[in-house]
Amino acid sequence: MKKKAFGKLTAVLSSAVMAGSMLSALPATVSAEGLSGLDAKGITSQMVIGWNLGNTLDCSGTNYSSTASPEKFVKAWGQPVPTAELVQTVKDAGFNTIRIPTTWYEKIEWDESSQMYVVNEQWMNFVKQVVDYAYDRDMFVILNVHHENFINVKQFTDDTYAEASEKLEDIWTQVAETFADYDQHLIFEGMNEPRQTGNSAVSEWGNGSGDNGYSWNYVNNLNKVFADTVRSQGSNANKERLLMMPAYVATSDTTALQNLKIPDNAGNVAISVHAYAPYFFTMDTSSYANHEFPGASGWGEDYGYALTNLFNGLDQIQKEKNAPIIIGEFSASDFNNTESRVNWAKDYLSKAKAVGIPCVLWDNNALNNGGESHGYLYRATNTWYPNAKPV
C-alpha cells in the first residue's frame, strides 16, 4: 500500500504465527519434483500465512536512471538490500508465503529493434535472486507490478489505457519468460491497486463507481491483458500458474468485486483484495478512530460485526466468481495497543480461515508513523520488533 510504520511488533508477530496454525490446511512443503497440477483453490489452501517485503523492491519516484544498480533502487526508501537470511527469518517465524511488491516503470526503456519496453537486465536478475531466496525454501512467492505511474494515473482515458496495456504486456512478457519453468509455488499478481488519483467523479480509494462503469471495465481489460500475456508465453508452468487479479484499487467492496470480470479461459485465477479492516481500528487517526479491540468506531461501527460482514461478503464473491480470494495486504498499525492488536488478529484470521482466505501481512519496516506504522521485522538485524511478536 503506502509507506507504513512499526510498533508493538511482539504482539503482531505472535499473532501472525498463531495465524499460521489457524490457517493451515495442507502441508506447505512439497516433494522435490515440485508443485503442479493444482487448481486455484488447491494452491490457496496451502498458503498458510504470508508476509510482505514492503517498501523495498517497490520503491518509486526515485528519479534514478533505469541503469542504476538494483541495490540503489531498493534502498531508496531506507530499507536494506534483502538477503537469504532475511527470508529464512520470515520462514522460521511460521510464514510459508512471501509477497514481493515490485515496481518496474523506472527500470524499462523503449527499444526500437524489438519494438517493446525492455526491462533492465540487472534489475530482472536482481528480482529473480530475491524470488529465489523464497522459492528455494519451498515458500509460495507472489510477484507483482506495484507502484506503476502508467497504471495509477490522474484519470483513466482511452489514451492512458493504450500506454498502460502496452507497458503491462511488455513487462509481463519478460517476467513470464524469466520464470517460465518455476512451478506453482510462484504466483503472478497482475497489478497492485489500480486507481485514479485525480478524477472528481471517482474516488481514488473508493469502489470505482461514478463513471458509468468505465473504471471497472478499464481494470477488467488490463487484467485480461495480463492473463493473455502470461498464458501465451508457452511454458506448461505458465499455463497452470495462479494469477491474482484485483478489482478497482484492490478494494474489498462487494460492488466493485461484483463488477470484476475474470477473463474467459484465464485458467487458475485468484481475486486480489487488500483489507486493512476495520479501518477506524487499523489505520485511522481522526476523531472517529478507536484503537481498542473489541470496540467500535467513533460513529458507532462495531468492529467484530464489521469483520463478520467483511468475510461474509468476500465469501459470497468467491462463490459468485468461482475463484478464491487472497488478501494480499492486511495489518493494524501500532498505536501502542498491543493487546488490542492481538485480539484483532485472532478475530481477523479466524474469520479468514473459516472462509478459506489466506492473508499476507503488510510490513513496511516502519514505526512511530501514525496510521502507517506497519513495522514487524527489523531488517537491519533480521529480528522481530519486540512489540510485534505478540501480534
CA distance linking residue 161 with residue 149, whole number of Å:
12
**Nearest CA to 91 among 43, 141, 144, 41?**
141
Q: For the chain, how are helix, strand and coil distributed in percent, rounded to 5?
A: 40, 15, 50
Backbone angles phi, psi at 129, to 5 degrees: -60, -45
Q: What does DSSP assign to residue 383? A: E
* Total length of the chain: 391
CB 302 within 8 A of CB 356: no
Helix ranges restricted to H, the chain = 9-23, 40-44, 70-74, 84-92, 121-135, 158-178, 214-231, 236-240, 254-258, 279-282, 303-321, 338-354
- 193 catalytically annotated: yes
Q: Which of 169, 193, 240, 372 is catalytic?
A: 193
Q: Which of 148, 189, 329, 372 is catalytic?
A: 329
CB 366 within 8 A of CB 55: yes
- 33 catalytically annotated: no
Active site residues: 193, 329
